[in-house]
Structure 1
Amino acid sequence: MVYIVLGLSTLILSYLEGLMSGYYWFQLALLFVLPYVIRHEIYFQKHTNILYSITILIMVISVIISPMYSTYYENITREQTHYRFILNSSVAFVLIMVFSLQGLGHNKSYIKKIYNDKKRAVSEKDRRTKVLSNLGHELRTQINSINGVTQLILDGGAEDTPKNSTKYFEILDYCNNNMLLLVNDMLDIHKIESGRFELVIEPKIIYDFLSKITIPFINKAEEKNLKLHSYIDPKLKDVVVNIDEKRFAQVVYNLISNAIKFTEQGEITFSAEVVTLENDTVSIQFKVKDTGVGIAPKDIKKVFESFHQIKNEINPVYGGTGLGLAISQSIIEAMNSEIKIESKLNKGTSFIFPLTLERLPVLPNKLEIKTVYNDDFSINANVLLVEDNVISMMYAKKILEKRVAKIYEATNGIEAIESIKANRDIDLVFLDLEMPQMNGFKAITHIKAYNPSLTVIAFTANIPSTELITKLDDLGFDDILSKPFNKQDVFGILKKYTDDVLV
């Protein structure tokens, strides 16, 4: 469009203005070269000023010394004058085209370079995402192995383990759980930074899980001679809300864990008080209050920064990755709220956040309440375990033995398909997703094609997300069991998908 407009303007001005239009276009051609030169001299303001000065000087001299009509044309014919004028205008226009094309060419090369850099950056980001995802998967697999051995030892009790050694295995179990939390924090912060963080909303009886949320920290508080209090507003009894229970619990766990960590004497209180209770919504103010070391005013905003830990001259850093509060704030922001801090040095800190949750008119008995199953039961069903990790296989077998009729084993998708075809009495399949030769994503297609009614449970160390759950559902999986798992998780699956329970 620029070239067309310039070309038409040249023709029109040549017709209307005579020779002056020719001089004008020569000067304009000179101006067109300036952006091209200045681009390479962007860091040299002095050189740029010199270029502009020379251009303006030449234009001024041209206006002063150039007559309106030159005597050079007096002795030539009208046709010769017209020819020379067209020649001058054409040269000027070609110069404009050349310099403009040079400028556009360089702009295009810069844009292409930026585009290629962006593609490389996206590729690098995808590569890092894949590496981090694989790292998380492998870490969770190894943690599951530790968890399996630990649970086997602890379940064995005094029969298999000397009494004096039991406490060490309990410590191992505690360390294993902490390692799992760290891995989950690492993956969560990556999801948050990449914009892939999401909530899984489900209907829950809020009073039931809030009243139990501080139980995991009772022993930890007692070890430091701290009092741990919990107050749940009685108005919340039988109130059903839509909430991501696991993510909410993660926030409270982080806040209580930090409160215990930074409190040497006194008490920690978790409270949930109703602000408003409507037919379709309920507003609750949550608070975690401690009597610990407190936070300096200058550091309050920093506590929510990733990998940031507050230091002071008196107390050392208390450990951790500095991710817990950053993740907690992101979770609460995803729930359309914000965590606020009230703190005084050496007097304590309060973390406060209000939540407005959707209330559902669902009776409590219509909700699925998590049941704690006794070990003393058996199910008349045959189970196929498909797992390439030896320790995970051993732990799952230990849980299932004496509780199911028969256990079949496979270490990859190919063996699983062959086992299902050879043993028509298999009722339930625990199918690992990541295996050599043939993974679970491919194996499920063949299994369902052979026996569509067979119940197949995804067995995975990946953290379940909406994307993963949707993918598994589309492939034909009936449910998902996430590693590391415990016997109650397995018992829940058995109870849910088998009918012949013999107590």
Structure 2
Amino acid sequence: MLHLVSRSIAAKMTFAFALVFIVLSISYFVMERRLGTIENSMGSITDLSSHAIGILRINKDIVEMQRDISVFGSSGSDAVFAKIEENFQSIQRRLKFIDENNDGLSEQLYIDSMSELVVRYGNNLNVLVKRYNIKSALMSDVLPGIYLNAITDLDRLAAGTADLHSKLIILQRINTWHSLHQSAQLFLTKKDYSKRQDVMHALKQLDRFDLPTAAEQNALIDLNIQSAKTYKNTFNKSIQANRNYLSLVNVVMAGDAIEFSSLANTLREQSLQRLNEIKKYGEKTIVKTERVLQLLGIGIIFYVIILTMFFHFHIAHAIKRLTKSFQCFLNGDLSEPINDLSRQDELGVLAQAANRFRVLSKDLISSKQAAEHTSKVKSEFLANMSHEIRTPMNGILGMTRQLSNTSLTDKQLRMLEIIQSSGSGLLVIINDILDLSKIDAEKIELENKPINLNKLLDEMHHLFSEQVEEKNVKLLVSSNAGKENTVFLGDETRLKQVLMNLLGNAVKFTEKGSVILDVTVNVMEKGELKLLFNVSDTGIGIDDRHIESLFEAFSQADTSITRRFGGTGLGLAITSKLLNIMQAPLKVDSKLGKGSRFYFELATKAEVIDIETLHAVHEKKVKQALDLSHLNVLVVEDNQINQIVIEALLKEFNITTISIAINGQHAIELCEMSAFDMILMDMQMPVLDGPGATVEIRKIHSYVNTPIIALTANVLERDKQQCFDAGMNDFLGKPLDYECLKSILLKWSPMPG
């Protein structure tokens, strides 16, 4: 066991944390028991608090109900009695809940007594309604009925009497009845006890009725005297009914309420006493728990301190030393010593790995230096070879162009075409190698300018129409946009390069049948377009085994194809990589002997272009192209052949005022003596190179804005950037192309005048 712990950090950590786990488990067990006790106490406190609150609410409801009963005695309102019943039901529910959740015997006695009081109170509520109805009927219905009948009889008696004295006696009796009834109502409803004497006095007056009348009116007199006696009896009954009602409310029910409140207070005091006992017990438990936790906490703190010191000195410090060694290795200092190589645990293994890493790093640095040296030599070789090849190629292609403008026999013309074709083929290979190098170095930057789809397709058809005619193959170029002017954003040069590579391969490998370029335009939301380019042919096709390696540089399907059709194997590799940069991966479907289909989908945006404006600009440029004789051009070129080629090309544009400088210093001297409209500047020259000369020329006040065009065989991206950094306006690579030179001249030549 000890041997295992000494050989593994994981075992050490497991052992240490196991001890921590054991201590924490013991702490948890102790805490669980203590917290269980506290939880039970808290539960008891909660129950008691709930009971006390419930009792207080019941007591409050009893008081409120007693107050509502007083209101009901005055108003007799059904809404008030409904509220009384609602409070009573609430009292029953709360008392039932307390009874169901009570577990104390002493409290149960009080709760039972309270339950009996609530039942009795409920029974009294039923009696209360009956007594109120009796009282209300006597006071509101019977007494007013007797009073109204007596008044009616007296009115009839007065109507039948003609004697004025008799009428006054009857009227006096009517007033007595009014006074009687008013006093009776005030006594019964308002408890105005002084009115009772008034009632009794009025009843005595009504006992006698001395009125000289005819025999037929005696019956009404007797009836009125009888009504007074009946009123007296009913008044006494009303007094008794009122007393019965008030006795029930103020004595019986109020006594029950007082008794209930007394029981509730006693029960609440017992609950508070129990709460106090539970509180004391809980406090003792908490004090004991705190002591246990303090002891455990102190023990854990000491243990953690010891554990921390162990890990710090035994593990963290060793890791820090190894980290320092690795940091030095990453910073290139491989001389830093490696500690703990003799340890048997994981840190020892890590130290041995660091030692191995140092050995491998030394080997890697040596390999990296060798690779960097190789890459530098490769880049310098590529740049030098590009310059050295392009310089004579400029002379060959330039002089063949000039030679084509002379009188030649058919045989000479045929030989001249072979020279031009061979030179152009060699130039394509050179450009492909440079493009592949730039793509691999991630130095390709795409433009985002308007492209006219119809114009692009027309150019593709024009470029390959002669080749397909020679091979008797059909070339079909189409688009679902038809004649609609579709303009989109993209890099026109690179897109043309892609389509030319695909169409060139399709034409090359198709002996019969057709080559088709089809574009499907899908208009999306917010001006977005998706263009599906399809290039299909009925050529030799590709075996499924060779499709995976089809886009590899310097690769073709097999060596027999290379011998039969030629080619470097760079075209599809460059095309695929360019389309990947455009985020439009190239895909292929092919069957051996039946043909191939290459396609890609380009996501772009539509561009709204004013066609009339484009035509106007084009016509303006054409007019400019017809007359460039006003230009005074300085050509800075050290190679005599290139001087001849450039001068001849410029003369094709009617430019006759041409000065030649053989190096950068010579160019500066000529600029100080003369004024030139445009400067064509070579890059690599003796004495002073092109960028250096440009910097000095820009210092001359009259040449701050003069167009300076780089004209060089150095066409790598870094060469272009060097020219632009020096202050040149544009860039032309050698060998010179007539159309490119024309475009540059039209772009930068000042207007005559």
Query: TM-score range with shorter-chain normalisation?
Result: 0.7 to 0.9
Q: Shift of residue 149 of structure 1?
A: 0.8
Is contact 1:271-1:287 (8 Å) kept? yes
CA change 1:300–1:169 in 2 (3 A) is same
Counterpart code for 1:260: V
| Partner residue in 2 for 1:411 | 662
SS of corresponding position for 1:271? strand
Q: Which amino acid aligns with 2:645?
A: Y
Of 343, 352, 358, the residue aligned with 2:590 is 343
Report the equivalent of 2:370. Answer: 120
Q: Distance in 1 between matches of 2:546 and 2:692?
A: 51
Mark the CA change 1:291 to 1:499 in structure 2 (over 3 Å): closer, same or farther.
same
In 1, Cα distance between equivalents of 2:693 and 2:562: 55
Contact kept? 1:205, 1:364, Cα under 8 Å: no
How far residue 344 of structure 1 moved from its aligned partner, in angstroms, is 1.9
Is 2:694 the counterpart of 1:444? yes
C-alpha distance in 2 between matches for 1:257 and 1:460: 28
Which residue matches 2:189? none
SS at the partner of 1:430?
strand
Say yes or no: does 1:488 pair with 2:725.
no
* Aligned residue number for residue 426 of structure 1: 676
- TM-score relative to the length of structure 2: 0.50
Instruction: Rate the CA distance shift 1:95–1:169 in 2: closer, same or farther, 3 A.
Output: closer
Please tell me whether residue 143 in structure 1 is matched to residue 390 in structure 2.
Answer: no
- Seen in structure 2, the aligned counterparts of structure 1 residues 107 and 398 have a Cα distance that, compared at 3 Å, is closer
Is 1:456 aligned to 2:708, yes or no? yes
Structure 1 match to 2:295 = none
- Structure-to-structure mapping, 1:96-107, within 5 angstroms: 107=357
Aligned-CA RMSD value: 3.5
Match for 1:308: what amino acid?
S
User: How far is 1:108 from its partner?
Assistant: 3.0
C-alpha displacement of 1:205: 2.2
What is residue 254 of structure 1 aligned with on the other side? 501
Q: Are the aligned partners of 2:709 and 2:729 in contact in 1 as well (CA < 8 Å)?
A: yes
Corresponding position of 2:463: 216
Q: 1:472 aligns with which of 710, 715, 723?
A: 723
The structural deviation recorded for 1:136 is 1.9
Distance in 1, Cα, partners of 2:500 & 2:410: 31
Q: Match of 2:403?
A: 153
Mapped pair 1:171 → 2:423: no
Determine which of 556, 578, 589 is the counterpart of 1:331: 578
- 1:326-351 Cα distance to aligned partner (Å, 9 max, x none): 11111111111122212222221111
Distance (whole Å) between structure 1 residues aligned to residue 580 and residue 479 of structure 2: 22
- SS at 2:601 equivalent: strand
Residues 377 and 501, structure 1, Cα contact 8 Å, conserved in 2: no
CA-CA distance at 1:464 after TM superposition: 6.6
Shift of 1:234: 3.0
Paired residues for 1:364-443 under 5 Å:
364-365=611-612, 377-401=627-651, 403-423=654-674, 425-443=675-693
Amino acid corresponding to residue 688 of structure 2 in structure 1: M
Partner of 1:66: none
Distance 1:141 1:103, change over 3 A: same
Partner secondary structure for residue 428 of structure 2: helix
Residue of structure 1 equivalent to 2:165: none
Please tell me whether residue 282 in structure 1 is matched to residue 529 in structure 2. yes
Equivalent residues of 1:455, 1:477 under 8 A apart: yes
Counting matched residue pairs gives: 415
Residue 495 of structure 1 contacts residue 501 of structure 1 at CA under 8 Å; is this kept in 2? no
**What secondary structure, in the 3-state scheme, does the structure 1 residue paired with 2:699 have?**
helix
Once residues 738 and 341 of structure 2 are traced to their aligned partners in structure 1, the CA distance between those partners, rounded to angstroms, is 82
Q: Is the Cα contact below 8 Å between 2:625 and 2:746 reproduced in 1?
A: no
The offset of 1:305, in angstroms, is 1.4
Is the 2:691–2:722 Cα contact (8 Å) retained in structure 1?
Answer: no
Residues 298, 155 of structure 1: alpha-carbon distance in 2 compared, 3 angstrom cutoff: same
Counterpart in 2 of 1:310? 557
Q: CA deviation at 1:362?
A: 3.6
Q: Which amino acid aligns with 1:307?
A: F
1:355 and 2:602 aligned: yes
Report how far residue 320 of structure 1 moved.
Answer: 0.7
Q: By how many angstroms is 1:444 displaced?
A: 0.4
More strand by share: 1
Matched residue, 1:195? 442
Using a 3 Å threshold, how does the CA distance of structure 1 residues 373 and 458 change in structure 2: closer, same or farther?
farther
What CA deviation, in whole Å up to 9, does each residue of 1:288-324 have, x standing for no partner?
Answer: 1111111112222221111111138799542111111
Name 2:427's counterpart in structure 1.
180
User: Taking structure 1 as reference, are residues 279 and 420 closer, same or farther at Cα in structure 2, changes over 3 Å only?
Assistant: same
1:245 to 492, 496, 520: 492
Alignment partners' CA distance in 1, 2:579 and 2:352: 53
Q: State the TM-score, normalized to the length of structure 1.
A: 0.74
1:131 & 1:464 partners in 2: Cα distance? 12
Identical counterparts, % of pairs: 30
SS state at 1:282 partner:
strand
Amino acid at match of 1:480: F
Aligned AA for 1:485? L
Unaligned runs of 5+ in 2: 1-8, 14-301, 315-339
The residue identity in structure 1 corresponding to 2:423 is: N
Letter in structure 1 aligned against 2:742: F
Bigger helix fraction = 2
Bigger mean CA offset, 480-489 vs 282-291: 480-489
How far 1:142 moved relative to its partner?
2.3
C-alpha separation between the residues in 1 aligned to 2:716 and 2:529? 28
Contact 2:542 2:590 in 1 (8 A): yes
Matched, 1:300 2:547: yes
- Taking the aligned partners of 1:114 and 1:330, their CA distance within structure 2 comes to 30
Distance 2:352 2:592 in 1: 64
Q: For the Cα contact (< 8 Å) 1:309–1:317, is it kept in 2?
A: no
Contact 2:434–2:716 under 8 Å retained in 1 = no
Query: Which structure is richer in relative contact order (CA contacts within 8 A, separation 6 or more)?
Result: 1
Distance 1:298 1:113, change over 3 A: closer
Give 3-state SS (helix, strand or coil) of 1:122's partner: helix
Query: Does the aligned pair in 2 maintain the 1:337–1:355 contact within 8 Å?
Result: yes
From the superposition, tell whether residues 104 and 336 of structure 1 become closer, same or farther in structure 2 (CA, over 3 Å): closer
CA separation of 1:464/1:234 partners in 2, compared to 1, >3 Å: closer, same or farther? Answer: farther
Q: Aligned in 2, Cα 1:109/1:231: closer, same or farther, shift over 3 Å?
A: same
Cα deviation, 1:402-459, whole Å, max 9, x if unaligned, reads 7225111012111111111122x22211001121221111110001011313221111
In structure 2, the CA distance between the partners of 1:245 and 1:95, relative to structure 1 (3 Å rule), is: closer
CA 1:375 to 1:366, structure 2 compared with 1: closer, same or farther past 3 Å?
closer
Q: From the superposition, tell whether residues 120 and 112 of structure 1 become closer, same or farther in structure 2 (CA, over 3 Å).
A: same
Structure 1 residues 373, 231: closer, same or farther in 2, change over 3 A?
farther
Matched-pair contact (CA < 8 Å) for 1:379–1:498: no
Whole-angstrom distance in 2 between the partners of 1:315 and 1:440:
41
Q: 1:211 to 1:305 in 2, by over 3 A?
A: same
Change (3 A) 1:118 1:166: same
User: How much has 1:394 moved relative to structure 2?
Assistant: 0.6
DSSP-derived class of the 2:517 partner: strand
Give the conservation status (yes or no) of the 8 Å contact 2:517–2:535: yes
CA distance in 1, matches of 2:455, 2:463: 15
Question: What's the offset of the Cα at 1:116?
Answer: 3.7
1:167, distance to aligned residue in structure 2 (A):
2.1
5+ unaligned residues in a row in structure 1: which ranges?
26-92
Which letter maps to 1:428? M
Kindly state the Cα deviation for residue 497 of structure 1 after the two structures are TM-superposed.
Answer: 2.7
Distance in 2, matches of 1:194 and 1:498, equals 35
